Amino acid sequence: MKLIMKTEFDNLRLNSKHDYDTDSNGEKQVVKVYCDELLIAKKIKLKKSVRFFGISGYEQYLTQEDV
């Protein structure tokens, strides 16, 4: 997995074709985005740090945004 931008993660998470799952454990929160049970992206929030990750080729799962 590689770092991706927040807007790309939000695009993947808000897509109606994708499912997401949230897991919290103390100060750590993880949001995972799936497409047909394949993990395509995740967000890790630890204290004040937030990081967004996507699999190689995550771009093919992005949707075109209305301009």
* 3-class SS string, 1-67: CEECCHHHHHHHHHCCCCEEEEEEECCEEEEEEEECCEEEEEEEEECCEEEEEECCCHHHHCCCCCC
Residue 12: inside a domain, yes or no?
A: yes
Mean pLDDT of 44-62: 95
Given this model, what pLDDT does residue 63 score? Answer: 87
Residue 63: inside a domain, yes or no?
A: no
Query: How many separate domains does the chain show?
Result: 1
Residue 64: inside a domain, yes or no?
A: no
Residue 31: inside a domain, yes or no?
A: yes
Render pLDDT for 12-47 as a digit per residue (tens, 0 to 9).
999 999 999 999 998 999 999 999 999 999 999 999
Residues of the domain holding 12: 2-58
Given this model, what pLDDT does residue 64 score? Answer: 81
Given this model, what pLDDT does residue 67 score? Answer: 36
Residue 66: inside a domain, yes or no?
A: no
Q: Which residue has the higher pLDDT, 67 or 60?
A: 60
